[in-house]
Amino acid sequence: MNLMWLRRDLRIDDNPALIAALQSGPTQALFIATPEQWQQHDMAPIQVDFIERHLNLLAEQLAKYGIPLTVLTVPNYASCTIALKEFCHTQQISQIFANQEVELNECIRDRQILAAGLNLTLYEADVIVPKGTVKTGKGDMFHVFTPFRNAWVKQLQQHSIKTSSHPSEVLTHYQSIRAEKIVLEATKKSSEKWPLVSDIKKHVMPEFLQTKHADYKQYRDFPALKGTSGVSPYLAIGALSSKMLASQVLQHVPFILDNAKADIFCWLNELAWRDFYKHLLFAYPNLIKGITFSEKYSNLNWPNSNEYFIAWCEGRTGYPLVDAAMRQLRQTGWMHNRLRMVVASFLTKHLLVDWRLGEQFFMQHLIDGDFSANNGGWQWAAGTGCDAQPYFRIFNPITQSEKFDPDGSFIRKYLPELSNVPVKYIHLPHSYLAATGQSECYWPAIVEHSQARQIALAFYKQQLGAPENDSNARN
């Protein structure tokens, strides 16, 4: 009997480990829940619930092919080896098939399992282009995204995307069974507002490719609009395959790889960014330990005002776009990508709070929490990461608001206390509120933008011994 060990690959489509197991013989599936480990890794309760819902969907899909799915619960990764060994003995499992996870603790767990003598074979299912294959001419990992993307595109041009077979293509004889209800014994928060991946594949992605994909670049930065695909939560838990998505885009727009600067390439470019951060973590596994990618930033002495950090977490900074974004995160478990950049820049450069605190807070709340992407995004914003924005680039939350939420629709949705503020004042409403006797309805600005910007520049220059020229700064 073979065992398919499910992790962050909760799908039957393009699941190489599952197909290898089925091709090798009779198979059953296993998911090991590790609530204490999840807590240590700051997994958001909404993501735990999302995983539970997709485990139940997957159990039903596997049951149609006569494949039972069992869930074991152990405290942490250290307990996995004993539990897995006992399960294999009881179920007479001879081979274990699984898709690799790139994070350091997960890699250590797998090495311990192999050291215990279990027959574990690992496959790759979390990237479009294999990790470690996109390299510079010297054979190193790219440290800048654009040349990485160009080499990534070249590989796609030279080698067509090959997705794994579907179980129905492998199994010729099977008898359906009954799927048992799965309940994860861990802290959860309802994810019911997010549809199951079956609906995404049936309705959302076809509509996106047919009607929204071409306009993605034009509308993706406006949080009040539904201009994005919204698939990040499904990619984060492996309910969707990034390789399959890329394949669908190439089928829809066969010439898309010919010009990476074209507007229509923009959404595929986001999948390339996702690959970039996975490849980066594969090449530099110690990023999981909270180190800065750029060594010169490793000893930044962040002031870390607890008052500022709490105000940022609670959406009480006095900057409407920042506060609305933080409320979106806390209420929905998701935040628009443009706003992730804005609030991360605000925390690190307006408030001078360590990016690691923001990174942790995001993971504790995001339904699409993924370490490599989250770490890469936060280090990008703080200027400490690989191909990061320079330290002197500091987003102006007011002009960002005026540009990407011009009529204040997004702000009003999450800050109803500002619903009656005219558009002219919505992006920084304090003068209007004071003049109309409504000052008590909204928080004062926690810092003044221009002053905070100068303090941030001085902080980075002092810490880094940087030259005084910041003429390339952008607000």
Q: Does residue 337 have an active-site annotation?
A: yes
Residue 344 pLDDT greater than 90, yes or no? yes
pTM for the complete prediction? 0.95
Q: Does residue 270 have an active-site annotation?
A: yes
Indicate whether 309 and 429 sit together in one domain.
Answer: yes
Domain count within the chain: 3
Of the candidates 302, 337, 303, 305, the one whose C-alpha atom is nearest the C-alpha of residue 446 is: 305
274 is in an annotated binding site: yes
Q: Does residue 273 have an active-site annotation?
A: yes
| HSE-up (13 A, CA, CB side) for residue 93 | 25
Indicate whether 70 and 205 sit together in one domain.
Answer: no
The one catalytic residue in 378, 380, 396, 443 is: 378
Beta strands 2-6 and 95-99: pairing type?
Answer: parallel
pLDDT of 335: 97
Residue 254's φ and ψ, nearest 5 degrees, are: -60, -25
228 assigned to some structural domain = yes
CATH of the domain at 243: 1.25.40.80
275 is in an annotated binding site: yes
113 assigned to some structural domain = yes
pLDDT of 466: 57
Of 216, 248, 283, the domain-final residue? 283
Indicate whether 77 and 100 sit together in one domain.
Answer: yes
pLDDT of 391: 86
CA–CA distance, 280 with 463 (Å, rounded to integer): 26
Least confident of 84-93, 114-123, 158-167, 381-390: 381-390
Residue 469 pLDDT greater than 80, yes or no? no
- Spatial neighbors of 128 by CB under 8 A, at least 6 apart, are 152, 156, 161, 242, 243, 246, 271, 272, 275
Quick: pLDDT tens for 111-121.
999 999 999 99
Q: Does residue 380 have an active-site annotation?
A: no
464 is in an annotated binding site: no
Q: Does residue 38 have an active-site annotation?
A: no
Indicate whether 110 and 206 sit together in one domain.
Answer: no
Residue range 301-327: mean pLDDT, rounded: 98
232 is in an annotated binding site: yes
pLDDT of 472: 41
Distances from the Cα of 97 to the Cα of 10, 92, 335, 462, angstroms = 14, 14, 35, 52
pLDDT of 467: 54
Q: What is the DSSP letter of 96?
A: E
Indicate whether 330 and 450 sit together in one domain.
Answer: yes
Indicate whether 110 and 30 sit together in one domain.
Answer: yes
Of the candidates 168, 265, 252, the one whose C-alpha atom is nearest the C-alpha of residue 210 is: 252
The one catalytic residue in 355, 359, 380, 443 is: 355
Alpha helix stretches (DSSP H) within 284-425: 306-313, 320-332, 337-345, 355-365, 371-382, 397-404, 409-414
Quick: pLDDT tens for 133-149.
999 999 999 999 999 99
CATH of the domain at 334: 1.10.579.10
Indicate whether 303 and 211 sit together in one domain.
Answer: no
Residue range 187-193: mean pLDDT, rounded: 97
Residue range 370-378: mean pLDDT, rounded: 96
91 assigned to some structural domain = yes
Domain span including residue 97: 2-125
- Spatial neighbors of 60 by CB under 8 A, at least 6 apart, are 179
CA–CA distance, 18 with 125 (Å, rounded to integer): 10
Of 263, 283, 303, the domain-final residue? 283
Q: Tokens 């974004």, residue? A: 325
177 assigned to some structural domain = no
Q: Tokens 């014994």, residue? A: 185
Residue 70's φ and ψ, nearest 5 degrees, are: -110, 145
Residue 471 pLDDT greater than 50, yes or no? no
- Spatial neighbors of 18 by CB under 8 A, at least 6 apart, are 4, 9, 12, 27, 29, 97, 164, 167
Indicate whether 323 and 397 sit together in one domain.
Answer: yes
312 assigned to some structural domain = yes
Indicate whether 318 and 446 sit together in one domain.
Answer: yes
Least confident of 70-74, 173-177, 314-318, 334-338: 173-177
Residue 435 pLDDT greater than 50, yes or no? yes
Residue 32's φ and ψ, nearest 5 degrees, are: -105, 115
Of 250, 283, 316, the domain-final residue? 283
276 is in an annotated binding site: yes
Q: Does residue 299 have an active-site annotation?
A: no
421 is in an annotated binding site: no
Tell me if 221 sits within 8 A of 266, measured CB to CB: no
Q: What is the DSSP letter of 442?
A: S
CATH of the domain at 119: 3.40.50.620
Quick: pLDDT tens for 48-70.
999 999 999 999 999 999 999 99
Q: What is the DSSP letter of 215?
A: G
Burial of 82 (0-12, 13-18, 19+ CB in 10 A): exposed
Distances from the Cα of 471 to the Cα of 51, 137, 397, angstroms = 47, 33, 20
Residue range 82-87: mean pLDDT, rounded: 96
330 assigned to some structural domain = yes
Tell me if 54 sits within 8 A of 10, measured CB to CB: yes
90 assigned to some structural domain = yes
pLDDT of 390: 85
pLDDT of 389: 79
Indicate whether 120 and 131 sit together in one domain.
Answer: no
181 assigned to some structural domain = no
Indicate whether 218 and 365 sit together in one domain.
Answer: no
Compute the mean pLDDT over every residue in the chain, rounded to the nearest whole number: 95
CA–CA distance, 37 with 43 (Å, rounded to integer): 9
Indicate whether 364 and 436 sit together in one domain.
Answer: yes
Question: What's the distance, Cα to Cα, between the start and end of the chain in Å?
Answer: 60
The residue type found at 107 is: C
Tell me if 346 sits within 8 A of 395, measured CB to CB: yes
140 is in an annotated binding site: no
Residue range 319-338: mean pLDDT, rounded: 97
The one catalytic residue in 105, 119, 124, 302 is: 302
pLDDT of 203: 94
pLDDT band at residue 184 using 50, 70 and 90 as cut-offs = very high
Report the percentage of the chain scoring pLDDT > 90: 92
